[in-house]
Structure 1
Amino acid sequence: MQPLLRTALAAALVLGASRPGGAHELWLTLSTVEQVPQVRVNYGHASKREAPSPLKLIELVALTQDGSTSLRAGLKPAPPEVPPALLAPLGTKPGRTLVAATYDAGYWATLRDGTRLNASRRLVPDAREGRWSVKYAKAAFGPGAPWLRVVGHTLEIVPIEVPGPTAGAIRVRVLFRGAPLPGADLYYGDSGMEPERAGVPAYTTDPDGIATVPIRKAGSQVLTVSQTVSPSATPTLADEDVYTATFAFRLDEPSVN
């Protein structure tokens, strides 16, 4: 049977789920703690963040033009007075750094009554549906970062250009298993707000997997893509595999739009 692929791409400070009330997201931001630049690993949604598990964070790496450095050894929970997250000292100049992360969200089963359990079909064989979920995240912390680098995530957003401080849009290519992913529906939400899908115009990646995402306000931006594959690569454990990826950056000057 040929796997069924379903795609959704959103752009906002934090993405909306690929289906209503659906998946959590992983995205990276930059914080300063005691004058030390820190990578902040965020999980959940803008309005409801959760603490990501360090045991599920498979990879956290800082990339510059000179090489790469793993940041996992420095992971620690964020202080309780701020939204939950994981923090890791950056150790490089933020303006020159791209950070990439891989997070295994595991198997999830939805029961007949709608209850969701962090379990596979092996333990919940009569579940209404089962899925395996993995999250990828990238963030460019400055104009000198290697924005255009392909890091090799199964699902990945790769900018085609580095937007200037007054850019009104950014062009990106979406890759799935290393190949361009066409037909992705794009949505844009204003910086600082979760996108509402109803009534918002959609943008679609072309046959080369390229899309142009408008930037309407300055500040934090996150592009998000999700890809669902059915049947799952492990059909005895899940019905489908759900991949999501984010790309975060900042524009600190008003845009031309």
Structure 2
Amino acid sequence: MKTLSTIVAAALLTASAQAHAHDTWVEVNTPEVREGNVVHVDLKLGNHGNDHRDFKLHSLITLDNVSLSVMAPCGCEADLKPNLIGTAYEPKQGYWTAPYTTTKPGLHVVSHELDTLHGKIRAIKSAKTYFVVGPDPTATKGPLMRCDRPLGHPLELVPVTNPVTESGPNTPIRVRVLFEGKPLANGRVTFIPRGQQLAEEFDETFERRTDAKGEAEFTPTEANVILVVIHHKEAERSGDGYDATYYSAALTVAVPQVPFPKPAIKTTTASR
């Protein structure tokens, strides 16, 4: 017969594993859209963390303590949480989705955060993805026109290369990992192509360690959706009701078969 202490220990271990392995991420149905058209934003929960090694869905995440928004280049923010609807007939299955009608040209970012408790573990998660409205990502100048500017998530994956306009087969995806605003060295960054099952332990094909600048790089060989994931644990960081804190961050990159068109070079006619 199991003792009470054994049952409690097992429950805490399960909660810890779930907090570490189940990550949230966001996707859009297209990384390129014309101004005035609709982008569908998806919020998903899956087993694709370092333990489960894949891109598969787990269940419908509870929306308590969840934020989801779209930020335009001007810094304007649209809250998508009130418009989220489930995609599955069965309760707690599928994922959440919401429409967003574009109104401004340029580079947009979808931002998601979650802060919750799993037993005695505090889980702080964040995720983002990018899309461009119109043919020129720099059409609107503003605080968010550049993808390499952090949003201020506790643990954050910041693109060094533009995940829309500089994405394609055999083109490196470069990211910088920031923890509380500072580069995180020797972090384990996982690049998961949709449909790929990663090897156990450390997969040298799809995983990298960050350098002293917190940077890591992966080069996809074909068009696909790539989920970039980083985990970080602060075992000594405790608080009211929890004994440790697990952080995770995700970035979704849609690698196109045909790269984003280069902006036309503007020329001027010299006056006579």
Match of 1:186 in 2: 189
Are the aligned partners of 1:189 and 1:196 in contact in 2 as well (CA < 8 Å)?
no
What's the offset of the Cα at 1:215?
A: 1.6
The 1-side partners of 2:28 and 2:174 are apart by 23
TM-score between both structures, scaled by the size of structure 2: 0.68
Give, in angstroms, the shift of residue 133 of structure 1. Answer: 0.7
| Structure 1: segments with no counterpart, 5+ residues | 1-17, 109-118, 120-129
Alpha-carbon distance in 1 for matches of 2:17, 2:188: 12
* Alignment match, 1:147: 147
Correspondent of 1:211 among 200, 206, 216: 216
Aligned-residue offset at 1:43: 0.6
The offset of 1:238, in angstroms, is 2.3
Aligned to 1:122: none
Greater Cα shift, 180-189 or 89-98: 89-98
2-side partners of 1:161 and 1:74: how far apart?
31
Q: Unpaired runs of 5+ in structure 2? A: 1-15, 31-36, 48-54, 138-144, 260-272
1:241–1:249 distance in 2 versus 1, CA, 3 Å: same
**Aligned residues: percent identity?**
24
Find the partner of 2:22 among 20, 24, 29.
24
Q: Which structure has the larger Rg?
A: 2
1:88 Cα offset (Å): 1.6
Change beyond 3 A, Cα 1:203–1:47: closer
Structure with the bigger RCO (C-alpha within 8 Å, sep 6+) is 1
Please state which structure has a larger fraction of its residues in helix.
2
Once the two structures are TM-superposed, the CA of residue 22 in structure 1 deviates from its matched residue by 4.7
The aligned counterpart of 1:248 is 252
Tell me the CA shift for residue 187 of structure 1.
Answer: 3.7
TM-score, normalised with respect to structure 1: 0.72
Moved over 4 A (4+): 18-22
Task: State whether structure 2 residue 121 is matched by structure 1 residue 134.
Answer: no
SS at match of 2:28: strand
Alpha-carbon distance in 1 for matches of 2:19, 2:124: 17
Equivalent residue runs for 1:78-157 within 5 Å: 78-80=87-89, 84-92=94-102, 96-104=107-115, 106-108=116-118, 119=119, 130-142=120-132, 144=137, 146-157=146-157
2:232 equivalent among 202, 227, 230: 227
Q: Report the structure, 1 or 2, having the larger strand content.
A: 1
Q: Tell me the SS of whatever aligns to 2:82.
A: helix
